[in-house]
A and B are shown apart, each in its own frame.
Chain A
Amino acid sequence: DTEVTQTPKHLVMGMTNKKSLKCEQHMGHRAMYWYKQKAKKPPELMFVYSYEKLSINESVPSRFSPECPNSSLLNLHLHALQPEDSALYLCASSQVEGGGAKNIQYFGAGTRLSVL
């Protein structure tokens, strides 16, 4: 099973709403990632969790708050977003963090977020 499951697939929210994106994997991977992807652009790394601890935060605004409750789950809590935050949010996992041979990332299908 090489599946990374993201929910919801689509989300529309107002600028005052609070919502959460969820990601789940059961491959025993110890690194999990959040990416943001705008149309016709490559994915941009937001956060990396390694062994359930936040390892990398790529200077993401505090209105995005990641959480890793256990080794299989990754959440992204959203609050007071701006219209320019509308994008495809991708979750990925890999055996370990880093650029080595075990860092093949498996991606979910993403959550398409629209902020009104």
Chain B
Amino acid sequence: LAKTTQPISMDSYEGQEVNITCSHNNIATNDYITWYQQFPSQGPRFIIQGYKTKVTNEVASLFIPADRKSSTLSLPRVSLSDTAVYYCLVEAAGNKLTFGGGTRVLVKP
């Protein structure tokens, strides 16, 4: 059975880099790994997506090792407004879309 796991929570301080790793041991061969951010009482918001190696956009980087059984979201120089829950989303073999359990990131001043 597909299992997508993330750390439950993570604290950081303004200006630091935050790295969140998601383990997805049964990812489908052709599937992309997508990360979302969710604030209270809002829907998840797309952050970044990748298939392998490294992807970078204006808000984050995504590192994916060759075996693709995990991925690491990197948020550079976080601010208070980055306090949120972060989810990875993969499609497991069998076409089941599965969110990770979510990582609550608290950014302190």
Which A residues are within 8 Å of any B CB, using their own CB?
4, 41-45, 48, 56, 88, 90, 92, 98-101, 103-110, 112
Distance in Å: Cβ of B30 to nearest Cβ of chain A: 6
Residues of B with C-beta under 8 A to A43? 44, 87, 99
Which B residues are within 8 Å of any A CB, using their own CB?
28, 30-32, 34, 36, 41-46, 49, 51, 87, 89-91, 95-97, 99-102
- In the assembled complex, the Cα of A104 lies from the Cα of B95 at a distance in Å of 15
In the complex, which of the residues B28, B31, B95, B100 contacts A42, with contact meaning CB atoms closer than 8 Å?
B100
Residues of B with C-beta under 8 A to A106? 46
- In the assembled complex, the Cα of A68 lies from the Cα of B82 at a distance in Å of 35
Residues of A with C-beta under 8 A to B30? 99-100
Contact A107–B34 (Cβ < 8 Å): no
- In the assembled complex, the Cα of A88 lies from the Cα of B99 at a distance in Å of 16
Residues of B with C-beta under 8 A to A88? 41
Residues of A with C-beta under 8 A to B32? 99-101, 103
Contacts A103-B91, A109-B43 known; 16 new A-B pairs at CB < 8 A: A42-B87, A43-B44, A44-B99, A92-B43, A99-B95, A99-B97, A101-B51, A105-B44, A105-B46, A105-B89, A107-B36, A107-B43, A107-B44, A107-B45, A110-B41, A110-B42
In this complex, the member of A41, A42, A92, A106 whose beta carbon has the largest number of chain B beta carbons within 10 angstroms is A42
In the A-B complex, the 4 residue pairs with the closest CB atoms: A99-B91, A107-B43, A99-B31, A42-B99
In this complex, the member of B28, B46, B90 whose beta carbon has the largest number of chain A beta carbons within 10 angstroms is B46
Smallest CB gap from A2: residue in B: B46
- In the assembled complex, the Cα of A100 lies from the Cα of B32 at a distance in Å of 5
Smallest CB gap from B42: residue in A: A109
Residues of A with C-beta under 8 A to B43? 4, 90, 92, 107-110
Contact B49–A104 (Cβ < 8 Å): yes
Distance in Å: Cβ of B32 to nearest Cβ of chain A: 6
Distance in Å: Cβ of A75 to nearest Cβ of chain B: 17
